[in-house]
Structure 1
Amino acid sequence: MSSSQTASFDPIRRYGFMVYGPTALYSLGQGAILPLLPALATDLGASLPAAALISAAIVIGQLAGNIPAGWLVSRLGERRTMIIAALASLIGIAGMLVATNIAVLGLSVLLEGFFAASFAVARHTFMTTRVPYTHRARALALVGGSFRLGGFTGPFVAAGLLALFGDEHASVWFFAACLVGVAALVAFGPDPEEKARIADRMAEPRVAEEAADPVAEEDTGEPVSAPVTERIGVFRTMHRHRALLARLGTTAASLAAVRSARQAVLPLWGVSIGLDSQTIALVVGVAGAAEFSLFYASGQIMDRHGRLWAVIPALLLMGAGFGGLAFTHDVDHTALWFGALAVVIGVGNGLSSGILMTLAADVAPPKDPAPFLGAWRTLTDGGAALTPLLVSGITAAASLPVACGLVGVVALAGAGAFLRYVPRYAPRR
């Protein structure tokens, strides 16, 4: 991308209909059904552990779908994969609507997670191949912000639909409508590559552009995927980049684990110190608001000062927050400590917005990034999925403060690992 393009690059305008709008709409629909999955399961006779397993099936589906999604994006391109993923998710919706037992419901939720992975990898690949390095963190932070906006507002939509229809399946129908809208936006929305070409023609003469880039005159304008000269497959890609994935990828998984711990630990902590549900919800909501308010600031920091200037403070803040909780369970004014430290954790989480996608885009093979991104997301999703299980196990074996302390240690260890591996594998350009 030329200097004139970089100077005038506006990812919001260029990719709004292709990425940000569909992401917010998809996460809005998904956020409307996630809180109701346990209720749908118990209505079919599931026990509490079985209902929890149904809720976890969407994460398991994402884990299983990341690597196949990398293969699919590499073969079909980003735009087609997003459309296919949105429409194929309707299979899971149909299963949720007609389910008469928890096995069918669980399989349907698993399919939702599987196709959600395809959508996520395609979206990530699209931004990796099209956004210049100077704007990459902001553009991907906006992806994360779009997802968080939908996830934040989805439960309120679910509550409204429940009040209006009195049936949890209304949210499932709402998600179906969102999926159709996502497919329509991606398929029929303005072509971002056409916008880019118009901007190029206005910025500099066409002849100069062709002289600088001989391939430009052969550009067909097809927005499906960036030109690819070599596809080596998912598993060969993983083998070729095994050292990077084992080091920086595992480090990224530690950040995903710490971020996931917030959702697992904070509600449990509120219960353990005797707070009522309304107070816990208020504290978690305030922490979530602090987190959401910082997602774009994180991208600005990473683009202007480097990736480490966002991820290290984020991990230090979250480590301090979880470590502080470990020592404040039985002190005076424990509720005030809980509220303050929850906000600290939320601020740290907000500063980390977009960092995992940005680092993956920085180190992914430029010619065919999708297989690598699928492997990367498998690692990070795995870290996030394992955290609630580890917190539960450590709490049962020792105590919740011990679990919080260990999460804090993981955060500090992750900060050290980022300091070591980011300069080695993703030096600032």
Structure 2
Amino acid sequence: VHSDFVAAATRGAMAVIDGNVMAINPGEEAKMQMFIWNNIFFSLGFDVRDHYKELGGDAAAFVAPRNDLQGVRVYSAVDLPGLYTLGTVVIDYRGYRVTAQSIIPGILEREQEQSVVYGSIDFGKTVLSHLKYLDLLNKAGQQLKILPHHVLNDKSEAVELCSSVECKGIIGNDGRHYILDLLRTFPPDVNFLKLEDEELSKEVKMLGFPIEHKHKLCCLRQELIDSFVDSRYMMFIKYAAYHLQQLNLRKNEEKLSNAKAITDKPEVNDKEETKSSIEENSKDETTEKDDKEEKKSQMEDAEAKKIVESITDGSKLELEESTKNIVKTASIAVGSLKDTEFDIRFNPDVYSPGIKHCENLDPPIIKQRQLVKDAAEFLLTVQIPTFVSLYCYILMFI
């Protein structure tokens, strides 16, 4: 099905650029014209009506379809029942970038303002929310590491979103819930943004960043997000396991010292009694040692199980205060959004121009922004060097 749609969209895009398809708005300027061919909607990669003026103009409009296509790809891969994306193909032909999309049933019978029930059509001025879309996008966001958040509309009202502001939700005449304009599905790459009142780390600056790009739609790929989260999760587990081991060692030492103090007895003058007591103490110590080792193993397994369960499924187990502190310390060390468990998710609107954020966000906006900067730093200091090293290693055997 997908290959047939790609083939048809490619033929249609070539026909559009070659001038063999009549525009549905022939009175508009050439770069603003839109086309329908074989029930496929075609648009050109230009900044019409200054939608991308603050993001880089035509340069941003040219790259936006590619980002949108990546968003469609990951949401399609999630394959969440009840949530639908549009068939999307991006074609570069004769110097033009053409976006081909399937048509939402009934969308041509009404204005866009009347169709959109979720998201924003004016880059954050008017923001709408919808309970069904919040439920669907929240489920998808758990896999895509997207953080639900609140933004302020033009009336300074807080609106909850589980995606970027640009993401639009439209209910078709077939009753299905469609999402489109997924160009900001992933967090921005701050290595290519000039941030006001914020600085990147020394390591990133030494590499010559940030570099101001010709547009502001540079974003991190989903593969990088997955690698970053996996790396932080392993760091979290190792940190927690190390401190848990130290905690158990201290507990065992305290128990051992207490046991020795209790079992110590006054010396007996009688040799036979002394010999007998030595033999009994030897047996007791051996048994006690075996019991302690068994208890130690059981205690470590039990504590580790409690930590893993509290991290993975968020169950409300009554952990010891010291164990809670270990989880909290490990969470802070890896930049988790929650102190009680491992939680790494990203707010795609955290650096979007023109978007107003609520003051009392939980987690704080500073923490959300730091996580985005950490992911961008991870790309430069870990992911790219690792890839280059691996590539050079492979070349040695070719």
Bigger relative contact order (CA 8 A; separation at least 6): 1
- Larger fraction in helix: 1
If the TM-score is normalised by the length of the shorter chain, which range does it land in? Answer: under 0.3
Larger of the two Rg values belongs to structure: 2
TM-score by length of 2: 0.24
